[in-house]
Structure 1
Amino acid sequence: MIEAIIIEDEHIASKRLVQLVNDIAPYIKVAATIFSVEGAIKWFKENPPPDLIFLDIQLHDGYGFDILDAINEHPPIIFTTAYNEYAIRGFKYNGLDYLLKPIDKKELERSLEKFRNQFHVIRETEDVRVQGFKKMFNKEYKRRFMVKVGNHYSSLNVDDIYFFRSEGGTICIITGDGKSYPLEYSLDQLEDMLNPIDFFRINRKYMIALKSVIEIHHYFNSRLLLKLKPVQEEKIIVSRERCSAFKKWLDM
């Protein structure tokens, strides 16, 4: 069920709009009818946001825009007003539609159809995003690698890896004590094998674990310079195109 609220200071107009919505769109539940700017701001502080707002612009204690300015985010809005001079300002608030009173039933039908189409697109996008997160968290990521140590092989836990480094076309595991173990994988393959919460590819040569980062410095050309553990002689630079994602990764 889609939830909507009506913010309208004329009781007769509010009651008629409720009836029209019930007739046209039974899939919409009018969760509240509010009659003032003050009451609307209070309602938003005490309730989760609805899916749709029907908003009168001129209320007895201020403007509908005052409500939108007071809340952080708002769902789609269908403005309902007796005045057409606010239309441009209404669309600056990403208004879905702008209906003049008295509300025409057919115009309201078109507005609700527009909302329904937009709502389905938003829901589908959210579903894809949720599925992506579920896939990420439910996926079985690699927990150990088989590595060659002298003339024999050993199993190395992912928790012991500080970063992966490309050396002359070969990918090597680097552990906290600075030891290096060659792998028969590419960095592209490792990106898919390892949990993205723990590992991030900073450039074409390095894929690092969060625990390896000791210091972060600004570097020229909008890049970042890292100091890693174990310490490397060469400069470890986060490529410019990966800097934004790297900062988000650090803040997860």
Structure 2
Amino acid sequence: MKIVIVEDEPRAARQLENLLHKSTFDFEILTVIDSVEDSVSWFQKNISPDLVFMDIQLADGLSFEIFQKTEVSAPIIFTTAFDQYAIQAFKVNSIDYLLKPIKQIDLDAALHKFSRSQSPSNPIEANILKELLSSMQTPQERSGILVKEGSGFVQIRISELLYMYSQDSITFGITHNKRYIIDETMDQLFDSLDHTKFYKINRGQIISKIAIQKIEPYFNHRVKLTISNPRDQEFIVSRQKTSDFKDWMNK
């Protein structure tokens, strides 16, 4: 069984590979791809694999955008850290979906389901995809978030957050005068935010539009941001996201 993994988090990709090795299935991982752009290029140039594991939120956008730009005939098992996507992903004719962190028992069940499927995967339905993309681009606005303070939790307003970042597997949220620990992964957090107000500029940083003070060109076709209360953080928009980030700033 030839497998392609589409995942922008190296740690998550390694975890999936380790779980696959613990399964009873014979497989070969052809490639691991971390962006919509590179996925489109790969599927256009290569023979279809037997199965694709595909994260929903990639470095440069939602993986559903891949199907708008090229044909993917292989069955898809979607993976996601935030379960609002689970039912929606299933409607896009995937074999299954897996919630992160992925458990061995769930992966094995998805693989057995794939092996029992005798019919090829259905093509992605354009009308379902259109509705799906629309719903994800306009999430219900979240007003508050629980953060750790001392031995307990307090709620702060989302509007107070200037940016969020991940360090040593801990998610931090920064306001004008304080740093908080947020008990969510970066993917879970970003998926729950209003994407017209917050942008995930790279794998480890989410910024609020109101916190951006300056945008400057940076090497390798990237841009560097000056942000309120930077706290020794450097804010570089990844190369894959630079064009989309500029479009986001213009809205």
Q: Which has the higher contact order (CA 8 A, sep 6+)?
A: 2
- TM-score, structure 1 as length reference: 0.46
Q: Which has the larger radius of gyration?
A: 1
